[in-house]
Structure 1
Amino acid sequence: MSDLSIEKQAPYYIQFYHMIRQMIFDGKYQPGERINETQLAKEYNVSKSPIREAVRILEKEGLLIVENSKVFVYEPTLKDVKEIYYCRMALESFAVRLTTKIASGEELAQIERTLDETEAAIRMKKDDNTIITLNEKFHQLILAFTDNAHLQKQVYDLKGLIHYFRVLNFKGDRRGDDILEQHRRIFAYIKQRDEEKAAQEMIHHLELDTEHLVEVLAPDEEK
């Protein structure tokens, strides 16, 4: 039997899902901007079906809003930021408690390597997307090492908006250094197996994120 593996190209709707999602994160589609499905179909010479399916998934993630059959990019509000981050504080503080309690030595080493990779990326002045992805990986590893599928699903259901806010949250001077410092404080307590302080530090980290996002959005939002 041949060892040759054949990679099947992803379905069109998956390709459009990733493309539109990335364009939102990159700011190529601005908050509140309308996305014309017919125009996209013509531009890429496809039917509207895969685009509609991509839109359906992105609407479920909260990144697109459909009103009267028209599609718009989600516009973040201060209320949304606070509500999503309150959810994160509850879920991720519990996640860090579990990981602090049950993670293996190798799993802790994996988290620490991610922090070291993040620091190296900052020092080498890597692009923002690279550093944001590493910051995201830190949180994902903590969640993964809880060994709690139901908890993971609760956070996963918010993944689209969490990533969107994480991108917005990176605006400003020294954000990479500030976030890394906060992550290292969380990890220090994880390594010490101090569940209470690890949870408190996670909540404090997410509170600081919330405050920064409010400052980012405040010029365009009513407080």
Structure 2
Amino acid sequence: MDNGGVTTGGPVAIRKRTLHDQVADGIRDLIIEGYLEPGSRIDETRLIEQLEVSRTPFREALRTLAAEGLVIIRPSRGAVVRKLTAQDVFSMLEVLAHLEKLAGNLTCERASDEEIEALLSLHREMLALYEKRERLAYYKLNQDFHTMLSELSGNETLQEMQRNIQARLKRIRFMGNRKPEYWAAAVDEHEKMAECLSRRDGPALGDIMAGHLMNTWNRVKNSV
């Protein structure tokens, strides 16, 4: 499927990806990378041709992205890319910082050695992509890292809240690495997370994760 020249990345999914999944991924990537700008109307005809799909899976994909908070579907007027205000972004990052601080503490307490190693393996894959400067692929693995860490907390309420907020901040989190110095700083923070995971230091990991989220705000606040 042609997705407008956008390079995709991330781990290969175990389950078979449906056409709906592929279309949603393609549109999501266009939003994340800024090809579809916040507040802009989604040109269905053009994108259907570009993605080489029919209208039904395209509209199903839009409904998925609307549920994630990335687009707004307006009856009889089409869909637009959701535009977040600076206050929206700050509020969500503030809550996400506390959620991931708790997730870091709980994961160090509850995860098995094999699960901790899986997280560290994902971290090493991220570093390899950083060395190759594959930004979108790195970003997707980064999202997987934060999702996995949340899942290993063993707290379903935390997981649900983390997933919902993370989905709405996809474009914002990608923007946080737009400058080389921002990306390097974020990678350094992830190195510190890995060190804390290795020694199961939950309080230290939680503090670093909370700081990591609020540092994202400092990197994007002038661009929202």
TM-score bracket, shorter-length normalisation: 0.7 to 0.9
Counterparts of 1:159-174 in structure 2, within 5 Å, are 159-174=166-181
Is contact 1:189–1:198 with CA below 8 Å preserved after alignment? yes
Q: Are residues 1:128 and 2:123 paired?
A: no
The match for 2:100 is 92
Is the partner of 1:158 in helix, strand or coil?
helix
Cα distance, 1:30 vs. partner? 1.6
The Cα RMSD (Å) is 2.6
Question: Cα deviations across residues 150-171 of structure 1 (Å, max 9, x unaligned)?
Answer: 3212222234223222211111
Q: Which amino acid aligns with 1:35?
A: I
Counterparts of 1:1-223 in structure 2, within 5 Å, are 10-11=18-19, 13-37=20-44, 40=47, 46=54, 48-67=55-74, 69-123=77-131, 125-217=132-224
C-alpha spacing 1:42/1:55, structure 2 compared with 1 (3 Å):
same
Q: Which amino acid aligns with 2:142?
A: N
Runs of 4+ with deviation above 6 angstroms = none
Is the partner of 2:101 in helix, strand or coil?
helix
Which of 1 and 2 has greater Rg?
1
The size of the alignment, in residue pairs, is 208
Higher deviation after alignment, 76-85 or 157-166: 157-166
Instruction: Structure 2: state its 5+ residue gaps.
Output: 1-14
C-alpha spacing 1:178/1:103, structure 2 compared with 1 (3 Å):
same
C-alpha spacing 1:113/1:57, structure 2 compared with 1 (3 Å):
closer
Cα distance, 1:49 vs. partner? 4.1
The match for 1:3 is none
Is contact 2:176–2:220 with CA below 8 Å preserved after alignment? yes
CA distance in 1, matches of 2:183, 2:17: 35
CA distance in 2, matches of 1:194, 1:9: 37
CA distance in 2, matches of 1:175, 1:53: 35
TM-score scaled by length of structure 2: 0.79
CA distance in 2, matches of 1:153, 1:135: 18
C-alpha spacing 1:9/1:168, structure 2 compared with 1 (3 Å):
closer
Is contact 1:131–1:176 with CA below 8 Å preserved after alignment? no
The match for 2:5 is none
CA distance in 2, matches of 1:188, 1:45: 45
Is contact 1:65–1:71 with CA below 8 Å preserved after alignment? yes
Higher deviation after alignment, 84-93 or 104-113: 104-113
CA distance in 2, matches of 1:9, 1:206: 30
TM-score scaled by length of structure 1: 0.80
Q: Which amino acid aligns with 1:81?
A: V
Q: Which amino acid aligns with 2:73?
A: V
